[in-house]
Structure 1
Amino acid sequence: MDGFRKGRPADHDQGKECGHVTGDGKSGAAGVDPEQLWLRPTAHRRGRRPSFSREAITAAAVALADAEGLEAVTMRRVAAEVGAGVMSLYSYAPDKDTLLELMVDHVSGELPVADAPSGDWRADLRTIAHLQRAHMLRHPWLPAALSTHRVPGPNTLAFLEHALAVLRPTGLDGAAKLEVFAQLTAFVAGHVAHEIAQGAASRSPDRAAAEARYLATVAADGQHPELAEALAAPGRPLSPEATFTRFLDRLLDGLAAG
């Protein structure tokens, strides 16, 4: 877990900002040790008990990411939020990969897992996907974080357990059930990332109008007949919710056919 540059203590806050979580969540570290992270969390040092906790550090990092994106999450910023010195945070989150894992599992605790599966796996998977979409829209940094997330913590495992129970009626083996859940989560993350990007683009009317004119011109040039036919087809509901549901149903159709 050597995600920070070695050297003098002051080096931790200089240059590349060792505590910085990049937009894609990567740090170049060898990886997070799941046993150390979830089964043997670092004990408090001797002496006066600190006025903050791993939970407080994680919550502060999540709040920063929600408000300003992952680029804003640095150890210096998080330390300021909890009223601690930067160096004192490293025993709780020794590198940026660890902090990201803590953040992902922290927000995973918002996902409900109390309801027993209905027995209709397709309906239950649809519910799971809509829950995930709402969850990622609340935390727009999650799609990028999940692309590198490797170490499921207790909250993540609870939701995974629920999803696997939902898939029991399919008769799939354990490996296939894990693949289905991974495929569903990847679909939701990719769709939400696109949805967020499209939402940002739609706030620029000039850009949207330019894109529409461009596609109309291309469709009329005689070189793209398939595109012209597709664009001429009757429109479908374009609300974000309707679009997501339509795409999701296609995915579930494929899973059912497989």
Structure 2
Amino acid sequence: MTESGSPSERIAAELRRRIAAGELAPGARVPSTRRITQEWGVAMATATKVLNRLREEGLVRAVPGVGTVVAGKPAPAGDRSRPASPREARSGAEPSGARRARAGGEHELTRERIVATAVRVADEEGLAALSMRRVATDLGVATMSLYRHVSGKDELLRLMTDVAFGEEPLPESPAPDWREGLETVARLQWRIYRRHPWLASTMSFTRPVMAPDAAAHTERSIAVLAGRGLSWEEMAQASVALAAFVCGLAVHFEREAQAEQDSGLSAEEWMDRTNGEDHERLMADPERFPMFDALSRGPEIDLSLEGLFAFGMARMLDGVGQLIERRGAGAGDENG
């Protein structure tokens, strides 16, 4: 495949067209790397390459706190007084009256539409962009009209959580092998967090949200451990500890997406440009940092989120296995 026919070049060409046609005006936000991966189904590296290419051509620039925007002076305040949202950037700014006409008015407002809109805002722009007012604006209705369907943002987040977990149901029956069963649940949670990077930061394991589709994951994890000689407390703690590990690592999906949006740099680019000198100083002091020095001289190490997830999950399951072995599968039923 030639470079001109590569996915990154095709996407870059489409964004160039939008800029040339005025669909993306000067100062308007261009789709983020996260949005590009969702809209075109490409890898994050490809999306990063697209924005880097446009940046090198001088068509876009990174604005701290905003993201990557079209280069050049913004239109007059009366024409466009703020950078466009990703939604506007894809289709052009739309008058509020048109949004209301499209939304169908408040008489067609439903809880499902409110939640779907909130999930879309959080997916595209991050949780910081989500508010009752923002959801109402996207729906073309008055903010107070939302409260007839949702009591407030806390309930909205609970409903969003349930929708996210319900998008990909658990297998109908648990795996007969406990390790396979727990791994299935953990990998499913990982995929859900990756699809919705904002989700992990809303989860709490001390004040859990009672969302049925999320609670089903804990139910399944306990079920695959039942009858293995563990107490109810041990089964619950093993299930929740594994879920907390997955969630804790997945929090970095949102953090990295926001950092990339703010800086216009991928994690790899940021490390190259920002931490290069610091890294060199560490390597130059092998007496103080002998392990860093040894690591730098060895083979490449996978410290990606995917690599850490796979390693950490395997080690946690190893520990559960050792506990089951100590209890002994035939030691009697302690679960009753």
Question: Do Structure 1 and Structure 2 share a fold, with TM-score over 0.5?
Answer: yes
Is contact 1:202–1:208 with CA below 8 Å preserved after alignment? Answer: no
Following superposition, the deviation at residue 220 of structure 1 comes to: 3.4
Pick closer, same or farther for the CA change 1:187–1:231 going to 2, 3 Å: farther
Pick closer, same or farther for the CA change 1:174–1:226 going to 2, 3 Å: same
- Match for residue 241 of structure 1? 306
Query: Is structure 2 residue 209 aligned with structure 1 residue 151?
Result: yes
Give the letter for the 1:186 counterpart.
A
- 1:1-258 matches, within 5 Å, as 50-147=107-204, 150-194=208-252, 197=255, 200=260, 202-203=266-267, 205=269, 207-208=271-272, 210-221=274-285, 222-237=287-302, 240-258=305-323
Unaligned runs of 5+ in 1: 1-48
SS across alignment from 2:194: helix
Following superposition, the deviation at residue 238 of structure 1 comes to: 5.2
Give me the TM-score of the superposition, normalised by structure 2: 0.55
Give the letter for the 2:129 counterpart.
A
Is contact 1:117–1:166 with CA below 8 Å preserved after alignment? Answer: yes
Give the letter for the 2:223 counterpart.
A
Unaligned runs of 5+ in 2: 1-105, 324-336
Tell which deviates more after alignment, 109-118 or 210-219. 210-219
Is contact 1:75–1:86 with CA below 8 Å preserved after alignment? Answer: yes
Following superposition, the deviation at residue 139 of structure 1 comes to: 0.3
- Structure showing greater Rg: 2
CA distance in 1, matches of 2:308, 2:123: 24
SS across alignment from 1:91: coil
The percentage of counterpart residues that share the same residue type is 36
Give me the TM-score of the superposition, normalised by structure 1: 0.70
Pick closer, same or farther for the CA change 1:241–1:204 going to 2, 3 Å: closer
Following superposition, the deviation at residue 254 of structure 1 comes to: 2.2
Following superposition, the deviation at residue 154 of structure 1 comes to: 2.1
Is contact 1:60–1:82 with CA below 8 Å preserved after alignment? Answer: yes
Pairwise CA RMSD: 2.7
Following superposition, the deviation at residue 233 of structure 1 comes to: 4.2
CA distance in 2, matches of 1:62, 1:206: 29
